[in-house]
Amino acid sequence: MWMSTKAIHSVIFVMAVFLLATSSFAQELRLSDLTQEALKNSPEIQTSLSKIEAARYRVPQAKSLPDPMFMFGYQNEGFDRYTYGEEQGSQWMFSASQQFLFPGKRALKGEMVQRDVESMEAMHELLKLKTVARVKELYFDLFLAYKNIDLFKDKRNLFLRIEDLTLARYVAGRAIQQEVLMAQTEKYMLLEKEEMFKQKIQSLEAMLRATIGRENMLPLGRPSDPVYQSFYLDADEAVKKALSNSPEIKSRNKIIEVADTKLRMAQKEYYPDFSINAGYSNRSGDFKDMWSATATINIPLYFKTKQEPAVFEAKASYTQAKQELDAVKLMISAAIQDNLSMLRSSERLMDLYTNGLIPKNTQDVDLALTDYTNGRTDLIVVISRLKTLLDYQILYWTQFVEREKAIARLQGITLGLASVPGGEKK
């Protein structure tokens, strides 16, 4: 029976979607591609760029003069009639005035806003580092989830062999039914864990897509195996590099400069501003037109309750900014110590698992399987040792991932965006 054209198109569409999804599962997910995509498309980074762009437009506004004022009006003598051109005081009046700030104030206002912009730019670099760090952590968690599924599948195959062996022993009258049920239960428990990690993969992929700003819902693919990398800096060298490269330190320094500028601006407020006014009066008839020029100066008479407290406030803000910088330096130093400790601890544990616990437990499992085959031990011993081996293998890869995360954080702290391919500041 021939299918209709519509049905054929439907089949082709379904096959195309299937092939696309299959290729997405098969493709290798690379960390460098994800970090570059995040730096380009992350909603948070794009929002930060818009804020910086808006802030830059405030600089010329702050430096600008106040708007000039224009006045026009008419003056009449008497109320009973229009006396323009008949009476000396009747006239049309026009004037313009412009306020001028005391020399130096406009430059300080522009400097304050400019320093704010520079602080925002430094914080933008910090946001990029945090976004990259978030991508790396999710990537490594995704890698660990896939690795755990591999371990579960590998052990499930072993449990299938044990199940077959137990069934054969049961048929031969050498094992009880409880052992068969025990082997099958362990197999299904591994299937349960595998399904739980598949759900975790979907959750991690959703968070990763949100972080990098990708809208489509297709699977991301399996992460490629991370390349083992070394971190040679000691604590003192790492702290020194971090204080030199940290965007947060640069931002805090800009905030101190802003506070210093505000202090100088507050001190400038002791000096008066002034306005210049030029006027013209038009009188008709035999009366000559008149003009005038005046200047107005404000007197900081209430400086004890206005200017002086403003200076004290600016000094306190300046001190606060310096203290916050010191706090950030301490936090960076503590973060480096914490991650270095985590890095070294993970390396020691990985060495213990690789050269001690995993090989010994592998031998233990092989021995227990041989003994069970020959009827010299119980199935519970085999299962217990096999589960212990699985736990150590999971712990090894967990420490491997924790080490990679610690190195990623240390690189971000000490090297900044120079540690991110394609992430250098332009």
**Are residue 131 and residue 208 in the same domain, yes or no?**
yes
**Are residue 162 and residue 284 in the same domain, yes or no?**
no
**Are residue 204 and residue 78 in the same domain, yes or no?**
no
**Are residue 209 and residue 79 in the same domain, yes or no?**
no
Instruction: Report if residue 3 sits inside a domain.
Output: no
Tell me the pLDDT of the chain averaged across its residues.
84
User: Alpha-carbon distance 358 to 135, whole Å?
Assistant: 31
CATH code for the domain of 340: 1.20.1600.10
pLDDT band of residue 421 (cuts 50, 70, 90) is low
Alpha-carbon 205 to chain mean position = 17
pLDDT at 412: 85
**Are residue 156 and residue 86 in the same domain, yes or no?**
no
Encode pLDDT of 241-284 as tens digits: 888 888 888 999 999 999 999 999 999 989 998 999 999 999 88
**Are residue 89 and residue 126 in the same domain, yes or no?**
no
**Are residue 286 and residue 145 in the same domain, yes or no?**
no
The pLDDT > 70 percentage for the chain reads: 91
Q: What is the mean pLDDT of residues 155-178?
A: 75
Kindly give, in sequence order, each residue whose CB lies less than 8 Å from that of residue 374, ignoring residues fewer than 6 positions away: none
Instruction: Report if residue 13 sits inside a domain.
Output: no
Q: What is the mean pLDDT of residues 194-221?
A: 87
- Asked if residue 336 lies in contact with residue 239, where contact means CB atoms within 8 angstroms, the answer is yes
**Are residue 179 and residue 58 in the same domain, yes or no?**
yes
**Are residue 292 and residue 243 in the same domain, yes or no?**
no
pLDDT at 54: 94
Q: What is the mean pLDDT of residues 382-389?
A: 85
Instruction: Report if residue 233 sits inside a domain.
Output: yes
- Asked if residue 139 lies in contact with residue 132, where contact means CB atoms within 8 angstroms, the answer is no
- Asked if residue 417 lies in contact with residue 125, where contact means CB atoms within 8 angstroms, the answer is yes
Q: Which two tokens stand for residue 112?
A: 């304050």
**Are residue 120 and residue 164 in the same domain, yes or no?**
yes
Instruction: Report if residue 424 sits inside a domain.
Output: no
- Please, which residues bridge with residue 93 across strands? 73, 281
Encode pLDDT of 84-103 as tens digits: 888 888 899 999 999 999 99
Encode pLDDT of 116-137 as tens digits: 999 999 899 989 988 998 999 9
**Are residue 134 and residue 237 in the same domain, yes or no?**
yes
SS (H, E, C) the chain: CCCCHHHHHHHHHHHHHHHHHHHHHHCEECHHHHHHHHHHHCHHHHHHHHHHHHHHCHHHHHHCCCCCEEEEEEECCCCCCCCCCCCCCCEEEEEEEEEECCCCHHHHHHHHHHHHHHHHHHHHHHHHHHHHHHHHHHHHHHHHHHHHHHHHHHHHHHHHHHHHHHHHHHHCCCCCHHHHHHHHHHHHHHHHHHHHHHHHHHHHHHHHHHHHCCCCCCCCCEECCCCCCCCCCCHHHHHHHHHHHCHHHHHHHHHHHHHHHHHHHHHHCCCCCEEEEEEEEECCCCCCCEEEEEEEECCCCCCCCCHHHHHHHHHHHHHHHHHHHHHHHHHHHHHHHHHHHHHHHHHHHHHHHHHHHHHHHHHHHHHHHHHHHCCCCCHHHHHHHHHHHHHHHHHHHHHHHHHHHHHHHHHHHHHHHHHCCCCCCC
pLDDT at 27: 66
| Listed range (4-8, 72-76, 160-164, 380-384) with the worst mean pLDDT | 4-8
pLDDT at 286: 80
Q: Which two tokens stand for residue 272?
A: 């008066």
**Are residue 331 and residue 207 in the same domain, yes or no?**
yes
Instruction: Report if residue 12 sits inside a domain.
Output: no
pLDDT band of residue 199 (cuts 50, 70, 90) is very high
What is the pTM for the complete model shown?
0.80
Instruction: Report if residue 253 sits inside a domain.
Output: yes
Q: Which of 286, 301, 316 is the last residue of a domain?
A: 301
Q: What is the mean pLDDT of residues 171-188?
A: 75
Going by their DSSP bridges, the two strands 290-297 and 274-282 should be labelled as antiparallel
- Asked if residue 256 lies in contact with residue 322, where contact means CB atoms within 8 angstroms, the answer is yes
Q: Which of 257, 285, 301 is the last residue of a domain?
A: 301
Instruction: Report if residue 19 sits inside a domain.
Output: no
Q: Could you list the residue range(s) of the whole structural domain that residue 334 is in?
A: 27-65+102-269+306-419
Q: How many domains are there within the chain? A: 2
pLDDT at 17: 41
- Phi and psi for 291 in degrees, rounded to 5? -135, 160
Instruction: Report if residue 6 sits inside a domain.
Output: no
